[in-house]
Chains A and B, each alone.
Chain A
Amino acid sequence: MSTLSTDVSRPLKITIAGVRGVVGETLTPELLVNFSQAFGTYIGPGRVLVSRDTRPSGVMVAPCVFSGLTASGCEVVDLGVCPTAALQVAVKDSDAVGGVAITAGHNDARWNALKFSREDGIYLNPQQAAELLNVYHQKEFAKARWDELRPVGRDDSAGERHLEAVRVQVDVDAIRAAQLKIAIDCTNGACSEFTPRLLEGLGCEVVAINDDPELSFPHEPRPTPPNLSQLRALVRAAGADAGFAHDADGDRLGVVTEDGEAPGEEYTLCLAAEMVLGRGDPGPVVTNLSTTMAVDDVARKYGREVVRTGIGQVFIAEAAFNYSAAIAGEGSGGIVFPAINYAHDSISALAHIVNLMAERGGPISGLIAEIPRYYIIKREVVCPPQRAYSVLEDLRRDIDAPWAEEINLDDGVKLIGADRWVHIRVSLTEPRIRVITEADAKGLAMDLADEYERKVERLL
């Protein structure tokens, strides 16, 4: 039994991105029921679809969510275990008024979270999330009468319908003809059942690891290079043409080349954009302020604009919608394909990159080599939450960067030059200030990171 903690780092985050906490500590059944009933009050009455990833606590979280939604008068449809992107397609393509994804994405198995989407399958935006929080805090929830309570429905087809939506977007014949051998690491997450099925249907030879949704996460479910050693070894051993790694709920995709190298998840967006822009999908590219400027080079190649947003999935999704983007995404490996949904969708990303490989021929390392190489440095400075915004305010008044051609204040401070940029912002999820720099030379990126990390520390 865990004891209650008064520690400020008690792991519960109630933010615009939903409610996230550690099971056994902060993510209690009461909290889950209250949030679900608040969401039902806010968005209902009507049909609400619920999905979950494979983490073990989903089995406890799901009935809490069902009861809170049902009590508020909503009709719950349980989609079972499927990628969050599949939930979002299902919400968009049905008469549902909203969706709840039970997943802590790339966080380890101790965590779980609720992520709320509205009737178009897009997450609540900050204004809507603030409204939901007001309902939650006011605690005056809708309570349906006994004869208005609806039974929980079940729909096991959302994952397959998502795959179908992906298949019609890619060149199936070209992929089949290429006879690719693909290694995948599903981290025993929500894609375990679906990605192998998709790839086999596309005529690929599949070598899968960690594709058992009943087993625990074999490593942190974040597809960043430190978590890809198993996949890199597999690609080399199997002689695969490429390797791909999912996170737990099918948001983010990591890439491994045929020679077992992991170039970093910033390349996922660049490769997917090559495919989508190359085949002529109209519209600009949307990405956030902290993503690599290689995206600008890819867009420029195809004569497209790049729209930069603040950090957060919903900003990407809303901008993708508002600007009719061809593609959108983040350097974390989460890519949005507006033709399919407005969700971070690693299965779609994988299918498009495989399509690119089939179309362009040659090894994936060659495709990556065509993308300009930059160096990204990510630092963070621990900062008490009550100081975070004033530090940024001080920094804003004290900008001294003659190299900067542009200053963007949409989300913290971003200074942009021809060959470098630095972005200093407050983390939404942790009591930290993040400093991210990128340059075409590693030394320059490091120097810039050192300079601004020191600056933040001094202001503190």
Chain B
Amino acid sequence: MTGIQSLKIGVSGVRGIVGQSLTPQLVVGFAEAFGTYLDGGLVVIGRDPRPSGEMILNALTGGLLSTGCSVIDVGVCPTPTMQHAVVDLAADGGIAITASHHPAGWNALKFCREDGVFLNEYQGEELLSVYHQGAFVQREYDALGRVGHDEGAVNRHLTKVLMSVDRDAIAAMAPKVVIDSVNGAGADFAEGLLQKMGCEVVAINDVPTGRFPRDPEPIPENLGQLCEAVREHDADIGFGQDADGDRLSVVSAEGVAIGEEFTLAFAADVMAERRDGKLVTNLSTSRMIDEVGERHGCEVVRSKVGEVNVVETMIAEDAIGGGEGNGGVIDPKLHYCRDNLAAMALILEGMARRGVAVTEWAESFRPSAIVKDRVPCGAGHTQRAILALQRHYADEQLDLTEGVKVFFEGGAWVHARPSNTEPIIRVIAEADDHATARRICDEAMQVVNGAIG
């Protein structure tokens, strides 16, 4: 892939390959744009342990200081820790330096506003306008920002998670947990949290070097080593993290990666049991959350795909829980961010209070299979594809909030939508069994291909 093609500048931030497209010049420009956009104030910066993180931190720091913003560096930490720190320190914004589940050669900037939530689509557009306009605020020598360090951010985050969970129940169960942190940002802290909750912990890939021993996306095909370790250590559960601690996947005691959709289903089951109110997730997430809603009498509200869309809907609906089917769990009692530490606490509490094993809990849900696929589609063709899908499924029940979501008799569904970050249409289908989900997905993909062919 060439440098030009690898760069993605969008409303959700900037992403590129270090040594090619993600240059210090680009980072400095975005830092100045963000400082100009905030018009001064305090900015919290956290990063995952990718080797390029420090170079990017320095470029951001220089750019922000020149606009009069001060910087608090919270060091290598999970992205949700940075988001917590923005609120704790009453900062005016935050930046996460992480390319999340992308390979180690990538890095990215994600911009966060004063409430510790990422910029929404409109705010992202505003920041891009400032960047493209290029007329940045430049402060004189005596009005530049200052740099501070906050070593306590992770501990505050851990403490909040510990306070939110039924530690006695977990300690009484004393589960044996294997955690695979992919040598990412959550590596040392997740282990500490689990121990403080009374777990016996086996940690693998737990040195935050940023050199990933596997693809950091926590989906079953990347979790072979974790599954093996769970079996080898005769553990009760395995947790697989991404590089920046905002997506989590669960492995059963039998050493089976049950799929990242279960992470939110389990966590929501516990959040809904704790409090009355609404649950929020996106249109592409498993129907298991609807079952959770039925169990606890909670309304489930669906938002467009994207963390910030889920979060803003949660805020608007005053939701008691939320998240995404990719393994991102949001516990609003803690903060409006996807947070693996919170997710692990919720899931362990759920197991302890129910006295169930992972497999048993998973089987309490109606059998389900999800197929996630994609069709290459240039930006110019997406509208044609969406219209073709609408015509094709005209007789079914449709949700047109984002792309096309089709609900079939018997609970199966398919959702097709243009990606925010890549020139593709994503197609996700769910049904009682894999063959049916695959067939439903293929049908929608054929319609898309036929329309853009």
The yes or no answer to B419 lying at the interface (CB within 8 A) is no
Closest to A33 in B: B24
The yes or no answer to B142 lying at the interface (CB within 8 A) is yes
A63-B62, A145-B19 in contact; A151/B140 too (CB < 8 A)?
no
Closest to B144 in A: A60
Residues in chain A near residue B65, CB distance under 8 A:
59-60, 63
Task: Provide the bound-state CA to CA distance between A30 and B62, in Å.
Answer: 9
B144 near A56 with CB under 8 A, answer: yes
A147 near B144 with CB under 8 A, answer: no
A144 near B19 with CB under 8 A, answer: yes
B144 near A71 with CB under 8 A, answer: no
Closest to A70 in B: B55
The yes or no answer to B66 lying at the interface (CB within 8 A) is yes
- Contact for B142 among A25, A109, A144, A152, CB less than 8 A: A109
Task: Provide the bound-state CA to CA distance between A1 and B57, in Å.
Answer: 24
A64 near B28 with CB under 8 A, answer: yes
The yes or no answer to A324 lying at the interface (CB within 8 A) is no
The yes or no answer to A23 lying at the interface (CB within 8 A) is yes
Residues in chain B near residue A1, CB distance under 8 A:
137-139
CB distance from A221 to the nearest CB of B (A): 13
Interface residues of B in 52-86 (CB under 8 A from A): 52, 54-59, 61-63, 65-66
The yes or no answer to A61 lying at the interface (CB within 8 A) is yes
The yes or no answer to B122 lying at the interface (CB within 8 A) is no
Task: Provide the bound-state CA to CA distance between A25 and B136, in Å.
Answer: 11
A30-B25, A33-B28 in contact; A24/B140 too (CB < 8 A)?
yes
Task: Provide the bound-state CA to CA distance between A145 and B6, in Å.
Answer: 14
The yes or no answer to A34 lying at the interface (CB within 8 A) is yes
CB distance from A132 to the nearest CB of B (A): 17
A110 near B141 with CB under 8 A, answer: yes
The yes or no answer to A227 lying at the interface (CB within 8 A) is no
Task: Provide the bound-state CA to CA distance between A70 and B58, in Å.
Answer: 10
- Which of A29, A110, A145 is the most central at the interface, judged by chain B CB atoms within 10 Å of its CB? A29
Residues in chain B near residue A25, CB distance under 8 A:
138
Residues in chain A near residue B144, CB distance under 8 A:
23, 56-57, 59-60
A146 near B50 with CB under 8 A, answer: yes
A60 near B52 with CB under 8 A, answer: no
CB distance from B224 to the nearest CB of A (A): 24
Task: Provide the bound-state CA to CA distance between A309 and B166, in Å.
Answer: 79
Interface residues of B in 7-25 (CB under 8 A from A): 17-20, 23-25
The yes or no answer to B261 lying at the interface (CB within 8 A) is no
Encode B95-117 as 1/0 by CB contact (under 8 A) with A. Answer: 00000000011110000000000
A2-B138, A24-B138, A71-B23 in contact; A147/B28 too (CB < 8 A)?
no
- Which of A23, A60, A149 is the most central at the interface, judged by chain B CB atoms within 10 Å of its CB? A60
- Contact for A29 among B18, B52, B66, B147, CB less than 8 A: B66
The yes or no answer to A143 lying at the interface (CB within 8 A) is yes
Encode A145-158 as 1/0 by CB contact (under 8 A) with B. Answer: 11111011000000
The yes or no answer to A28 lying at the interface (CB within 8 A) is yes
B54 near A29 with CB under 8 A, answer: no
The yes or no answer to B160 lying at the interface (CB within 8 A) is no
Interface residues of A in 45-96 (CB under 8 A from B): 55-57, 59-64, 66-68, 70-71
The yes or no answer to B430 lying at the interface (CB within 8 A) is no
The yes or no answer to B438 lying at the interface (CB within 8 A) is no
B62 near A60 with CB under 8 A, answer: yes
- Which of A34, A112, A146, A148 is the most central at the interface, judged by chain B CB atoms within 10 Å of its CB? A146
Task: Provide the bound-state CA to CA distance between A282 and B320, in Å.
Answer: 83
Task: Provide the bound-state CA to CA distance between A109 and B23, in Å.
Answer: 30
Residues in chain B near residue A60, CB distance under 8 A:
61-62, 65-66, 144-145
The yes or no answer to B297 lying at the interface (CB within 8 A) is no
Residues in chain B near residue A67, CB distance under 8 A:
24, 27-28, 55-56, 58-59, 62
Encode B141-164 as 1/0 by CB contact (under 8 A) with A. Answer: 111111100000000000000000
CB distance from B60 to the nearest CB of A (A): 8
- Which of B24, B58, B66, B147 is the most central at the interface, judged by chain A CB atoms within 10 Å of its CB? B24
B62 near A143 with CB under 8 A, answer: no
- Which of B20, B50, B62, B144 is the most central at the interface, judged by chain A CB atoms within 10 Å of its CB? B62
Residues in chain B near residue A147, CB distance under 8 A:
51, 104-105, 211
Closest to B61 in A: A63
Task: Provide the bound-state CA to CA distance between A23 and B144, in Å.
Answer: 9
Residues in chain B near residue A112, CB distance under 8 A:
141
Residues in chain B near residue A110, CB distance under 8 A:
140-141
The yes or no answer to B238 lying at the interface (CB within 8 A) is no
CB distance from A142 to the nearest CB of B (A): 9
The yes or no answer to B349 lying at the interface (CB within 8 A) is no
Task: Provide the bound-state CA to CA distance between A149 and B59, in Å.
Answer: 14
The yes or no answer to A433 lying at the interface (CB within 8 A) is no
Residues in chain B near residue A348, CB distance under 8 A:
none
A63-B58, A70-B58 in contact; A57/B141 too (CB < 8 A)?
yes
The yes or no answer to A124 lying at the interface (CB within 8 A) is no
Residues in chain B near residue A109, CB distance under 8 A:
141-142
The yes or no answer to B307 lying at the interface (CB within 8 A) is no
- Which of A59, A71, A147 is the most central at the interface, judged by chain B CB atoms within 10 Å of its CB? A71
Closest to B20 in A: A143
A152 near B62 with CB under 8 A, answer: no
A67-B55, A70-B55, A71-B55 in contact; A29/B62 too (CB < 8 A)?
yes
The yes or no answer to B246 lying at the interface (CB within 8 A) is no
Residues in chain A near residue B143, CB distance under 8 A:
24
B141 near A28 with CB under 8 A, answer: no
A2-B138, A60-B65, A67-B27 in contact; A33/B59 too (CB < 8 A)?
yes
B58 near A152 with CB under 8 A, answer: yes
B55 near A149 with CB under 8 A, answer: yes
Residues in chain A near residue B61, CB distance under 8 A:
60, 63
The yes or no answer to A37 lying at the interface (CB within 8 A) is yes
Closest to A4 in B: B135
The yes or no answer to A32 lying at the interface (CB within 8 A) is yes
The yes or no answer to B29 lying at the interface (CB within 8 A) is yes
- Contact for A64 among B58, B140, B147, CB less than 8 A: B58
The yes or no answer to B217 lying at the interface (CB within 8 A) is no
Interface residues of A in 8-25 (CB under 8 A from B): 23-25
- Contact for A59 among B27, B31, B147, CB less than 8 A: B147
The yes or no answer to B339 lying at the interface (CB within 8 A) is no
Residues in chain A near residue B58, CB distance under 8 A:
63-64, 66-67, 70, 152
Interface residues of A in 23-44 (CB under 8 A from B): 23-25, 28-30, 32-34, 37
Residues in chain B near residue A24, CB distance under 8 A:
66, 138-141, 143
A64-B28, A67-B56 in contact; A29/B142 too (CB < 8 A)?
no
CB distance from A66 to the nearest CB of B (A): 4
CB distance from A175 to the nearest CB of B (A): 38
Task: Provide the bound-state CA to CA distance between A32 and B29, in Å.
Answer: 12
Residues in chain B near residue A146, CB distance under 8 A:
17-19, 50-52, 104-107
The yes or no answer to B206 lying at the interface (CB within 8 A) is no
The yes or no answer to B32 lying at the interface (CB within 8 A) is yes
- Which of B51, B57, B146, B211 is the most central at the interface, judged by chain A CB atoms within 10 Å of its CB? B51
A33-B24, A68-B24, A146-B104 in contact; A63/B59 too (CB < 8 A)?
yes
B28 near A30 with CB under 8 A, answer: yes
Encode A347-387 as 1/0 by CB contact (under 8 A) with B. Answer: 00000000000000000000000000000000000000000
30 of the cross-chain contacts (CB-CB < 8 Å) are A2-B140, A24-B66, A29-B66, A30-B28, A33-B62, A37-B24, A55-B141, A57-B141, A57-B144, A59-B144, A63-B65, A63-B147, A64-B24, A64-B58, A64-B62, A67-B55, A70-B54, A71-B55, A71-B59, A112-B141, A143-B19, A144-B19, A145-B19, A146-B18, A146-B19, A146-B104, A146-B105, A149-B18, A149-B52, A151-B54
- 6 additional A-B residue pairs with CB within 8 Å, beyond A29-B31, A70-B58, A143-B19: A29-B59, A33-B28, A57-B141, A63-B62, A67-B27, A70-B54
Per CB-CB distance, the 7 closest pairs between chain A and chain B, nearest first, are A64-B62, A24-B140, A67-B59, A67-B58, A63-B58, A60-B65, A63-B61
Using CB atoms and an 8 Å cutoff, list the residues of chain A in contact with chain B.
1-2, 23-25, 28-30, 32-34, 37, 55-57, 59-64, 66-68, 70-71, 109-110, 112, 143-149, 151-152, 216
